[in-house]
Amino acid sequence: MTSVQVSVTGRVQGVGYRWFVQDLASEHGLTGWVRNRRDGSVEAELHGDRVDVEAVVGAMRAGPRHARVDAVQVRELTARRGLDGFEIRATE
């Protein structure tokens, strides 16, 4: 089990970025969440098999069609068990 926190900056709000991440995470069987931040970035926690987490993070570096990703920061977290599904959370 791999767990990471991902912070993405650029033009990542108002372009379907959170739904893009939710769809990818669901396709790869990940649990966790994604949300907009007040500073204009998007933050996510991804939990699952390493290869699936890496695939989603890789796709997040490109983003959906209308996004412009300037930077992606990934931080390893202590693995969490017992999470169910992947959700879009309210802006922090």
The verdict on residue 34 lying in a domain is yes
| Active-site residue, 11 included | no
Which is catalytic among the residues 11, 18, 61, 80?
18
The verdict on residue 14 lying in a domain is yes
The verdict on residue 45 lying in a domain is yes
**pTM to 2 decimals?**
0.93
Give the domain CATH number at 49.
3.30.70.100
The verdict on residue 41 lying in a domain is yes
| Active-site residue, 38 included | no
CB-based burial label for 15 (10 Å; 0-12, 13-18, 19+): middle
Number of domains in the chain: 1
The verdict on residue 39 lying in a domain is yes
Give the model's pLDDT for residue 81: 66
- Rounded to 5 degrees, what angle do the CA atoms 27, 66, 14 make? 85
pLDDT digits (tens, 9 = 90+) for 13-67: 999 999 999 999 999 999 999 999 999 999 999 999 999 999 999 999 999 999 9
Residue 13 domain boundaries: 2-79
The verdict on residue 8 lying in a domain is yes
The verdict on residue 26 lying in a domain is yes
Give residue 28's identity as a one-letter amino acid code. H
Which is catalytic among the residues 36, 61, 65, 68?
36
